[in-house]
Each structure stands twice: as structure tokens, then as C-alpha cells.
Amino acid sequence: MEGDPEAVITHLSSPVTVNWGITARCNFVCSHCFSRLDPSEEMSPEDALRVVEILAEQSVMFLNYGTGEPLLRSDLFPLTEHAVSKGLKVTMNSNGSLLDAAVARRTREAGFHSVGISIDSATPATHDAFRRMPGSFEKAVRAARLLREEGVPLTVSSVICQVNHGDFPALVALAKELGAHTIDLHNFKCSGLGGLNKEALDLSPDEWRRFYEAAVPLRDREKGIGIAFDDPILSLLGAEEKGKLVAGSVCGKLSLYIKPNGEITPCGFIPVTIGHILRDDFAEVWHGSKVLEHLRTKAAAGKCSGCAKFSSCLGGCTARAYAVYGAYDAPDPHCWSEDGPEIRRNTPSP
């Protein structure tokens, strides 16, 4: 950690987690996907190995593959074996459709720390419609079971939105039955296709309040599976994630995102390039980026001004605020606190 140990922590000496979009290719076209509008070309296998070297040198602990479907990369397993040999704990998010028994075995052999399978509803038809892929629920459940049979630690990844916010307890029960150690109930973002489909899929602030008022007690009493949210607006309920190291969004404080072409952004949902993993000095980007400095020192704006919760939530999710208002300091559009000064919607710009 940097600076006076008694001071508020704004960021660590290096990211704890780097989320890496190793490919933008995907065999699904999900309604909420942030990356389907990204035309970035992916790196060569040789350049991908260089990325691993850089992250290991910078003492990054966790490397998560996401964005498109990681299993479409032919070098996925050799790349992972190299990363694991360098001390990185490697995870990935997958839709599960390409994961058969042989792939599950290879996943274990490569040394994955855990694998997240996307399941958005315990009702097959609802999941399939959201993922725009008939039969995808059955394949995701099969993938989850195959991974557990191989002894690969499993998480279930779910995007909370209009299609599932009312029946999430059944989703938690399914994840528990599949043997997942954690279910991540991700809050809906407004980037990429998620932005285009926001009106149909996003919840209103009051719906988000009611969701969390039901979900947090379930998290607190559930003993058989961990339930994670990672949403700064939980501060409004006094229900922040346990053990959280920084206030507000973790983007640019605990984590960074690497696009398929090597460009670095604060997170996958904030499409602002702050460097390139192979052309720029990683430490200089992490410590010297003006964009990251802004994210780490956000000022209260609009209805956040004077709010007693601002010091813990720092305006909520920066990605959502940026997507909707075009400003890092704007209040999270999911925030249900009483309205204050109006925030004007702008076209996002760096």
C-alpha cells in the first residue's frame, strides 16, 4: 500500500486482479454484453505470453479471463499453465457451451484457480432467452457439473436485471445444488449492448433497493454458499461487502482491465484507454494515469453532495455513472437516495 498507513487507502502498489479480455469472439450474443460492440483484434499467442510475464513481474495476484468466450482461444491452456507457473491465480468466466468432459479435465490440469459459469435464471427458458441461445441453460448446468466432477472450484455468475431480480433465491439454490462455492450476483451495467438494452433490462432505483433489501439478508443467513454483490451502493443499507479494502468502486484501485488488443482501461465497463500493456510501462500507468487518479479521488456531485454515505460509497458504480452521465463523479443512476441537484446526461468522453 502507498503513503501514510493511517491515511485513506486510494489504491494498492499493484492491482490485486487484472481482468483480461483474451478474446472478443463469442458464440453467444447476450442481451447485456459490454464487449459485443468492441471490434478489437486479439493478441497473438506470443504477445499473450509477454502479458503474463509483465503481470507476474508486477506482483498481480489474480488473472481473470473474460469479455468473449475464453474457450475459443486455442492457446488458452498453455497460456494458463504459463501463468500458473509464474504464481498467478487464474480464473475465467465462460458460458459453458464448449465445456465437455475433455475440456473440464484439461481445465483442471492447467491449474485454474476457479471457473465461473454464467447462469442467469433457474428457469431454462428465461436463461436461454436472456442469452439469446436455445439450449444454453442445459449446457451451462452440464459444464458446471463436469467441472465439479473434475474437482475444479466452481462459481456461478449471474447478471441481475429485469428477467431474474424477482426469483434470485431459486438461482442461489441452483448454484448451491451444483456445488458452487460462490454465486456472484452482478449488478446490471449500461455499457455495450447493456446500454442499448438498458430500458428493457435495467431496474429502477427503487427496484434495486427492494432487490438488495431481500438479497442481503439471504446472503447473511446462507451457510452453504457465498453470495457476492460487489456493488458500492450497498452502503445505503449499511451492508458493504465484508473485508473490502477500498471505498466505492474497485476499478483502478484494486483492479484493471486489458482489452483483447492490449489496451488498458480502468475496467471493462469504462471504455477509456489509459495505456497499452505491451507498449507502456505498467507501473507508470498504474501509478501515474490521470484517469485513475480521478477515479481514486472522486468528488461528490449532484445528490451525492452532503450525503452521509458518500465516504463509503463514493458515488456508487463509476462505470454506470460514466455510461449514463458521461462523468466519473456523477451519482450512480441506480442510487435510490432522495433526489438532490439534477445531473445532466452527457455523451461520455475521456
CB 172 within 8 A of CB 221: no
What's the pLDDT at 64?
Answer: 97
pLDDT tens per residue across span 50-85? 999 999 999 999 999 988 899 999 999 999 999 999
pLDDT tens per residue across span 200-220? 889 999 999 999 999 999 999
- Return phi, psi of residue 20, to 5°: -120, 120
What's the pLDDT at 62?
Answer: 98
Give the whole-angstrom CA distance, residue 9 versus residue 218.
Answer: 30
Give the pTM.
0.89
What's the pLDDT at 192?
Answer: 64
Q: What are the CA-CA distances from residue 28 to residues 94, 117, 159, 268, 278 (Å)?
A: 11, 14, 15, 18, 29
Residue ranges of the chain whose pLDDT lies below 50: 1-7, 340-350
Adjacency order of strands within the sheet including 275-276: 226-228, 182-187, 154-160, 114-118, 89-94, 62-67, 17-23, 255-258, 263-265, 275-276
CA end-to-end distance (rounded Å), the chain: 27
Q: Cβ atoms within 10 A of the Cβ of 340, count?
A: 15
What's the pLDDT at 34?
Answer: 63
